[in-house]
């Protein structure tokens, strides 16, 4: 059996968006390719902002996308482990209390920048005496706790970026526990990765510097735990918009919930995100498992991956054009769209709900678009009582012989009168479905 185990660890403080899902998908594809385990971990240590509603939404969105997990953990149920690790780090003098306020830290950073120095924490708290600490606490100050870095270079072989080295002397000792006692991301995440046996951490390149500090914390936690191993790391490029600008201000409209509401199919999202930023072309895949075979970190580029919603919509249309009725029968049934209509119109839709629009064209009432009434009146006289799929070709041939018209002059007035649209599915099928009575009425300019 494969020893690969990865995790997708969203915080249930909002809806997941395309950036989150790309990270989840890359983890899922790697686990599936290696025959490993894909874990979902709910990073809900922020009890004030985390909700069961958001957590449930994450479950639904991932399931809808086909990203099923094999294991699940919830951080709010694991505080005892974090408390044990924190106590041990304190005992080892690796976690030290700091009493500066946010305003004081901000002033320090500004002074350092003014002197041309990097805004790195100066470790002043390490020099505090017990008496000074007591004085601060008597003032009502509560400490935040920082992890003491080695201030040495940290190196690893990144599965996407290659050899990476970060000098932790140029990095502030990270805050692991806030003044109110709440754990920040780093400590619970590292404790869980060690305890749950995560072998590979796959995430965005904005975490590269964080990884250096976490490598040092991992080493300490593995020593504390008595077993475990350092995970491997892969840092993928981030998404930007089609204009090259960041997506941060648009992520609300790019949540999975919002995309689903726009009629984007899950296969379009996974097909698009799996190949974005890789050397492989984006192409439609109706089965997510088809994406597994071609997955490789070696194909992933370092440049930001450009996310274009219009391109995703085009891919969505291509997927629907290839989708058999059986795959969407339940959803189409709620629209009263049968297999005959689906197979006739699917090549001309951009989203599934468009099929219902064509159902309305066929069986509902439309306002005909009449631009040449003598011609369409003449066409109405040629409509037979019983229509089949050869009736359209017969009608067109008769009109061609009678009027001498060709091309658009022959076809377009008929299509506009019968459907109200300049473009659409094959008229031989639509003509039969519309029926003789409606067809005559529409050709004569009557609402029918």
CATH code for residues 5-80+184-238: 3.40.50.620
Contacts of 188 (CB under 8 A, 6+ apart): 43, 45, 75, 78, 82
CB 17 within 8 A of CB 256: yes
Mean pLDDT of the chain: 95
- For the stretch 378-419, pLDDT in tens is 999 999 999 998 999 999 999 999 999 999 999 999 999 999
Gyration radius (Cα) of the chain, Å:
31
Decide if pLDDT at 373 tops 70: yes
Do domains 241-321 and 373-443 share one topology? The answer is no
Residue 359's alpha-carbon distances to 13, 337, 342, 434, in angstroms, are: 40, 7, 9, 10
User: How does pLDDT run across 309-319, given as a tens digit for each residue?
Assistant: 999 999 999 99
pLDDT band for 94, please (50, 70, 90 cuts). Answer: very high
**What is the distance between the terminal CA atoms of the chain, rounded to a whole angstrom?**
65
Sequence ranges of the domains in the chain: 5-80+184-238, 94-152+163-177, 241-321, 325-363, 373-443
State yes or no: pLDDT of 291 exceeds 80.
Answer: yes
Which pLDDT score, from 0 to 100, does residue 226 have? Answer: 82
Give the residue from 122, 99, 87 showing the smallest Cα distance to 178. Answer: 99
Q: In the predicted model, is pLDDT for residue 48 greater than 50?
A: yes
Whether the per-residue pLDDT at 2 is higher than 90: the answer is: no
CA–CA distance from 124 to each of 151, 153, 171 (Å)? 15, 22, 15
Give the contacts of 208 (CB within 8 A, at least 6 positions apart). 161, 164, 166, 235
CB 362 within 8 A of CB 433: yes
> Residue 1 has what pLDDT?
44
**Does pLDDT of 360 surpass 80?**
yes
Whole-model pTM over 0.75: yes
Instruction: Indicate the CATH number for domain 373-443.
Output: 1.10.10.350
- pLDDT above 90 (res 9): yes
Rounded to an integer, what distance in angstroms lies between the CA atom of residue 428 and that of residue 413? Answer: 15
pLDDT digits over 202-218, tens only? 999 999 999 999 999 99
Q: Is 439's pLDDT higher than 70?
A: yes
Q: What CATH code would you report for 241-321? A: 1.10.1160.10
Query: Is 221's pLDDT higher than 90?
Result: yes
pLDDT at 249: 61
Instruction: Look up the CATH number of domain 94-152+163-177.
Output: 3.90.800.10
pLDDT of residue 21: 97
> How do residues 100-144 score in pLDDT, each as one tens digit?
999 999 999 999 999 999 999 999 999 999 999 999 999 999 999
For the segment 239-247, the average pLDDT, to the nearest whole number, is 87
């Amino acid at each position: 059996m494969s020893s690969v185990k990865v995790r997708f660890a969203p915080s249930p403080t909002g809806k997941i968006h395309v950036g989150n899902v790309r990270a989840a998908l890359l983890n899922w594809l790697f686990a599936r390719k290696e025959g490993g385990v894909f874990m979902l971990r709910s990073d809900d240590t922020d009890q004030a902002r985390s909700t069961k509603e958001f957590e449930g939404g994450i479950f639904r969105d991932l399931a809808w996308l086909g990203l099923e997990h094999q294991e699940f953990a919830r951080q709010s149920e694991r505080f005892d482990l974090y408390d044990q690790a924190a106590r041990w780090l304190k005992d080892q003098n690796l976690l030290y209390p700091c009493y500066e306020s946010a305003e004081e830290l901000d002033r320090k950073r500004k002074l350092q920048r003014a002197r041309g120095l990097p805004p790195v924490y100066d470790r002043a708290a390490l020099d505090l005496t017990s008496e000074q600490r007591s004085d601060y606490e008597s003032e009502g100050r509560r400490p935040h706790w920082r992890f003491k870095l080695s201030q040495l270079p940290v190196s690893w072989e990144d599965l996407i970026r290659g050899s990476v080295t970060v000098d932790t002397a140029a990095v502030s000792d990270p805050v692991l526990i806030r003044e109110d006692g709440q754990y920040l991301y780093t400590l619970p995440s590292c404790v869980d990765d060690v305890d749950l046996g995560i072998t590979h951490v796959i995430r965005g390149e904005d975490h590269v510097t964080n990884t250096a500090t976490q490598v040092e914390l991992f080493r300490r936690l593995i020593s504390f735990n008595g077993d475990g191993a350092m995970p491997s790391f892969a840092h993928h490029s981030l998404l930007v918009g089609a204009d090259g600008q960041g997506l941060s201000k648009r992520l609300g409209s790019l949540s999975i919930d919002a995309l689903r509401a726009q009629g984007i199919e899950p296969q379009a999202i996974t097909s698009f995100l799996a190949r974005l930023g890789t050397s492989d072309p984006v192409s439609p895949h109706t089965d997510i498992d088809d994406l597994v075979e071609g997955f490789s970190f070696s194909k992933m580029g370092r440049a930001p991956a450009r996310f274009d919603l219009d391109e995703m919509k085009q891919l969505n249309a291509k997927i629907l054009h290839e989708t058999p009725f059986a795959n969407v029968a339940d959803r189409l049934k709620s629209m009263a769209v049968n297999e005959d209509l689906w197979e006739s119109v699917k090549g001309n839709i951009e989203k599934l709900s468009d099929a219902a629009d064509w159902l309305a064209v066929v069986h509902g009432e439309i306002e005909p678009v009449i631009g040449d009434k003598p011609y369409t009146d003449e066409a109405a006289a040629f409509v037979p009582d019983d229509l089949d799929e050869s009736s359209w070709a017969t009608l067109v041939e008769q009109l061609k012989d009678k009027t001498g018209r060709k091309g658009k002059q022959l076809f377009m007035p008929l299509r506009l009168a019968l459907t109200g649209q300049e473009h659409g599915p094959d008229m031989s099928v639509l003509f039969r479905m519309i029926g003789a009575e409606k067809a005559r009425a529409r050709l004569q300019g009557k609402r029918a």
